[in-house]
Copies of this chain bind each other. A is one copy, B any other.
Amino acid sequence: MKKDGAIGVFDSGIGGLTVVKGIMDRLPYENVVYFGDTARVPYGTKSVETINKFTAQIVEFLLSHEVKALVVACNTISAVALDTVYQLAGDIPVIDVISSGAKASVMSTLNHNIGVIATNATVNSNAYTRAIYQLDNQSRVYAKACPLFVPFVEEGLLDHPALELIARDYLNVLEHEGIDTLILGCTHYPLIKPLIRKIMHDKINIIDSSLVASEDLAILLESTGLATEVNNDRIIEHKFYVSDVPAKFQKMAESFLNRNMPLPQLVNLDS
């Protein structure tokens, strides 16, 4: 493992780009290789067996790029296929959004009442609840599936009144539970954080998994001596691979990254 190796980041689709943005901001000298499985997105509706199979294909693809660390930027994969990632990764360190989000929430909460919003699949997996409880067995975790958030974000309707109606339905339940900390347990949700902030009480701390995963990655690279040397002459590479290129990819990616997006390369993992 070389210090100059890239960070391998992956997701079932485009959502993981919020994590890439977090890494670009926090670790601007690191190379990044991103894989988004846009041909087979979404994973959230698929079986555990299928998700594990797809995950193994992605991890093998990223390992072939000699990455120095892996970031699981997908809550569904973190919830149901993390063992597959660790098995294949060997001694390459792994960061995942659920572990990072859970840890940050436990450090934030004062009353031990933590809310999680996520897709159906992530909520049904109980992965956040388990991860939080392992760190703080006094915690009470209230998980709420918000399945319509992703389609609204993917349509770019980030502040449509219909989204606010839906969001109030979803979030009011959590507020009534007395939570003081809310985890955005889906990589699409940072894009509607302003709306979520508007609806939730000011005193509720909102944890953005994309940011805390990038912070954990920074600490990991530093502590293991894997952080790249700061060198302004070196060209920093951000490579993006996808399994399919929908017409909207470029537009959505630029909205997620909030900057110009290089053209992603197409890779077929099936054959």
Contact = CB atoms under 8 A, between A and B. Distances in A.
Interface string A139-182: 00000000110111011010011110110010000000000000
The SS class assigned to the A binding surface is loop
A46 B165 contact: no
A270 interface: yes
Contacts of A120: 247-248
Contacts of A45: 38, 41, 244, 246, 248
A220 interface: no
A39 interface: yes
- Size class of the contact patch on chain A: 20 to 34
A44 B55 CA distance: 22
A124 interface: yes
A155 B162 contact: no
A47 interface: yes
Nearest to A44: B246
Nearest to A13: B45
A26 interface: no
Contacts of A161: 165
A40 interface: yes
Interface in A200-240: none
Contacts of A151: 147-148, 150-151
Contact of A162 (B46, B50, B147, B163): B163
A150 B246 CA distance: 18
A76 B264 CA distance: 24
A151 to B, nearest CB: 4
Contacts of A163: 162
Given A148-B151, A165-B165, 16 more contacts: A38-B46, A39-B40, A45-B244, A45-B246, A47-B246, A124-B247, A147-B151, A148-B148, A148-B155, A148-B157, A150-B151, A160-B166, A161-B165, A162-B162, A162-B166, A162-B169
Interface of A: 38-41, 45-47, 50, 120, 124, 147-148, 150-152, 154-155, 157, 160-163, 165-166, 169, 244-248, 270
17 contacts: A38-B45, A38-B46, A39-B47, A46-B244, A46-B246, A120-B247, A120-B248, A147-B151, A147-B154, A147-B155, A148-B157, A160-B165, A161-B165, A162-B163, A162-B165, A162-B169, A165-B165
